[in-house]
Amino acid sequence: MKIKVLGSGCAKCDKVVDNVKEAVKELKIDAEVEKVTEVQEIMKYGVMKTPALVIDEKVISSGKVNKAKEIIKYIEKER
């Protein structure tokens, strides 16, 4: 599984990255977590608000700081 957090590198984006890592650890799954800060790359996903959460190239959420429990639900749904 590949999980990306799209954002400019702001504090909210960093928090989502931390929450994703916490969710992956709690689920004990093998997932690659990547932080994408390049504007051109973010635009490829059609995201207008960051932070955005992308799981296996599918935009799951944008414009909010997802809590680890929310991310766990998203991951389980996408598995």
Euclidean distance between CA atoms 27 and 79, whole angstroms:
12
Catalytic, out of 8, 10, 38, 58: 10
Tell me if residue 1 is catalytic.
no
Residue 10 is a catalytic residue: yes
- Give strand pairing partners of 52: 6, 62
Comparing CA positions, the residue from 12, 19, 27, 22 lying closest to residue 64 is 12
pLDDT in tens, 30-76: 999 999 999 999 999 999 999 999 999 999 999 999 999 999 999 99
**Active-site residue among 13, 17, 24, 52?**
13
pTM over 0.75: yes
What domains appear along the chain, each with residue ranges and CATH number? 2-78 (3.40.30.10)
